[in-house]
Structure 1
């Protein structure tokens, strides 16, 4: 499964490290003058001097929503002398989605369910008490929502020892995930990979959580460690890069219904 999804997750795995590598390489010069959008057969495209943008695998990128196409067009238009992919998170995400294609939709849905079975929110610290309290503050409410809205109750455990979750609860999560179309599933996978929590990603997709709530919940442990030992400059830079990808996926959620 992980091999199938390698490309699907490539745009966020070790994102800061890849950005550093890109920084060492010469960026391509801007080769176009005009950026525009059009519609063909109900699909929307971004045009560079009248030619549609393509993925690295030469697939034409088509968007299900004109606002999404315009946001991607804005990223291309913002490039001045050089084209810097690290500053084009929506372009990178949409390229990943189109390049992967419908044949990878079901594997991505399956991977979301797999993550949900061993979610970040289940595994709690044994101490210190201040960290335990923070985890309860930010992680209990999302789990309570899933139980209240969907009847999905999960088991919590101290430490990292794996705990099997009730199959009935996982089936209810799967029913949500199976509704997701290509763009929603890949955006949810991106958020899951960034946050470590499929449940946070799914709750955000379903409109139960706010984006800042999810972002804060994802970094409870890291923020606690930083409060105790100080911030690590490289870790914070990596988080800032991931935040670009996170915001891109959230924006996609805002524009598209879950079936897309």
Structure 2
């Protein structure tokens, strides 16, 4: 099947082993990505999740209801052909990591950032071998080339499917370190998400919740949780 079908036409969705991975078929025909590549994934868990999404379609196909399929397509059609560029783009977050740039006032926010973010930077130093230093204000301060290169190497070592998930973990949180915290299951994923929203939570406590902003934040949170799930499914 090439691209998205407008209407459901199949009766049976199956998962099959193929070339060291797994494929999903509709009435015996293998799924293809929008770029017409075979949709072959690394684990049975991922294939079963994709199959479940296709079985759940009723009437007309709704791509928005198929996040695992869309992420797998991205891994095959986008990440696979520019793995190095994607890895470099994500690794660059380390030089301006969210956790490193701290408020200069008020004291309560400064203290909260230190209490919540310093342990994560300590974890990165101990687990990832990369010590990133926090600074006050928004002026750029260069981090250790050795630390940044070590993180870059770890990003480049990811598979296409891992990197597709990691892209969203990092870009949605604004933090390379939090992306790694998620992939290493440093803390429950919802706690990691809340760490990325520390400043926004502070503002909400002061001024109240903006409903439109809260709706957008919830959309991003669900995408972050999906990326975490997809990364776990990508590991053999």
Mapped to 2, the partners of 1:252 and 1:76 lie a distance apart of: 17
Contact 2:21 2:43 in 1 (8 A): yes
Q: Secondary structure at the match of 2:14?
A: strand
Matched, 1:146 2:143: no
In structure 2, runs of 5+ residues without a counterpart are none
Shift of 1:240: 2.4
Match of 1:82 among 46, 60, 83: 60
- List per-residue Cα deviations over 1:180-201 (Å, max 9, x = no partner): 1111122111111111111111
- 1:170 is matched with 148
- 1:235 is matched with 213
Contact 1:188 1:198 in 2 (8 A): no
| TM-score, normalised by the number of residues in structure 2 | 0.89
- 1:12 is matched with none
RMSD between aligned residues: 2.0
Q: Comparing 77-86 with 164-173, which one deviates more in the overlay?
A: 77-86
Mapped to 1, the partners of 2:35 and 2:154 lie a distance apart of: 31
Equivalent runs, 1:68-107 vs 2, <5 Å: 68-107=46-85
Shift of 1:212: 1.9
Contact 2:170 2:179 in 1 (8 A): yes
Structure with greater contact order relative to length (CA < 8 Å, sep ≥ 6): 1
Instruction: Name the count of aligned residue pairs.
Output: 232
- 1:32 is matched with 10
Q: Comparing 204-213 with 188-197, which one deviates more in the overlay?
A: 204-213
- List per-residue Cα deviations over 1:175-220 (Å, max 9, x = no partner): 3223211111221111111111111112222343431221111111
Change (3 A) 1:32 1:243: farther
Mapped to 2, the partners of 1:243 and 1:30 lie a distance apart of: 30
Shift of 1:30: 2.9
